[in-house]
Amino acid sequence: MKLTGSSFGRAEFCKPSTFLPRIDEVLGRAGERGRAIHAFLLGCAVKGRTAALAEVKKEWQSDCAVIDLEVLPHATPDAWAIEVGLAWNWRDDSGRELFRFADSRDYSGCSVDEFPGTADVLGVTSDSVVVLDVKTGYRPLGPPAESLQLLFYAVAAARAYGKSSARIGWIRLRDGEPYFEHAFLDMFALDAAAARMVAVIEGAIEAEARFASDPSTLSPVVGPHCTFCPAFRVCPANAALMRELVGHTGDTPAPLPVLTKENVAQVYMRAKAMRKVLDVIDRGVEDFATAHPFELPNGKRVGQVGRTRETIDAVAAEPILKVLPDGDLIAKESIQVESTLTKKSLMDALERHLPIGKRKTPYMRDVMAKLKAVGAVQAGTYYCVTEFTPQKQLEPQQAERVVAETY
């Protein structure tokens, strides 16, 4: 069984992901960006912020420049440790630190009953641990208190340093700005998280044992958790689609082969045809979900939701835009023949002509405020079918506690 702190969430949905063969994927652009940001964080702690930023590739410097450890909440800057390796023993519910400030992750010293993981940022207070994880993508993460990855770090760190509570959260980079989402875990929440992880481990062990005695019992589960699964290419749940795509015949599952001059044209045509079929299926699902919202295995629902869309009156906006640096170009690029323009087209134009020394998000926010002040921005509602998290109904005692904590 291959299971680390970052894969507990996937394992909860799909037990076979813990023991199916793994194929390492080449990092894409998003992966390179994430790796650069993590290296910068480590460099800040070891070499200092200025030296660390100087070593970042130019294309990622703007992303790293906005990250400032001094603004992280709940602890003083010198209390933070970066890239902290932790191990949690599921048999006796104990934890220990493996390493800190490490540029590689060596888990070879873990026992058979220990599961390792590396926290991006970790701090310790008098009675609590603070664990923050840097996320550089745009996919929904859900509340921190429900993330098994963060819960693993919290339990392992709390046990390792003898603390009775934890603060966990995401550091997300959106439009060049860091955002923080936090949750507090008391001792009961930590115990519940440990029990939840034990259930995942026991389920994975049982699934692997069943598979060893009878391979037909393998039942992988497809979903959003598959995105970064290292077993994706050999997963039986995807094998049939892969075989169809490359024209593979027979019942023997096969991973997606390397593209060659002999098969690339066939793969291209089949993929194109499949996309058309999927478009038809997507439209059918959208029609169904509009009338009958349905629940997914991960607790989310699919249905029609209202979203706000801002449009900008080109005539009213032009005087504001033209006084900006490169204002004529911004107006020309974003204001087309129509009398309105989308917020995205304007934001793209502003980003292309961002003045030197200006931070992207505050600059755009200031421009939008000026446009709203002259009545150039109109907000409208549109409806789309998408995944959403249902609002939880609070029990009476929970509602009372929320009110007490608020006031």
Beta strands at 340-342 and 301-313: parallel, antiparallel or unpaired: antiparallel
Query: How far are the Cα atoms of 69, 141, 177 from residue 360, in angstroms, in the given order?
Result: 20, 24, 8
Per-residue pLDDT tens for 331-368?
777 665 456 677 878 888 888 888 877 777 788 889 89
* Strands 165-174 and 128-135, sheet pairing: parallel
- Residue 145's pLDDT band (cuts 50, 70, 90): very high
Residue 393 neighbours by CB distance under 10 Å: 7
Q: Residue 349 and residue 314: Cα distance in Å, rounded? A: 14
Question: In the prediction, which pLDDT does 133 show?
Answer: 87
Q: Which residues contact 315 (CB under 8 A, 6 or more apart)?
A: 339
CA 325 and chain centroid, separation: 35
The model's pTM is 0.66
CA distance 319 to 374: 10
* Confidence grade of residue 87 (pLDDT, cut at 50, 70, 90): very high
Residue 263: burial class (beta carbons within 10 Å; 0-12, 13-18, 19+): middle
Distance CA(140)–CA(132), nearest Å, equals 17
Beta strand spans in 90-154 (E): 94-99, 114-124, 128-135
**Tens-digit pLDDT profile for residues 205-247:** 999 999 999 988 888 887 778 777 888 877 877 766 666 655 5
Q: What is the pLDDT of residues 169-211, one digit of tens each?
A: 888 766 556 677 889 999 999 999 999 999 999 999 999 999 9
Q: What is the per-residue DSSP string for 224-268? A: GGGTT-TTGGG-HHHHHHHHHHHT--SSS--PPPPP-TTTHHHHH
By C-alpha distance, which of 165, 86, 166 is closest to 132?
A: 166
Please state whether beta strands 301-313 and 377-388 pair in parallel, antiparallel, or not at all (unpaired).
antiparallel
- Predicted confidence at residue 116, as pLDDT, reads 95
Residues facing residue 98 across a β-bridge: none
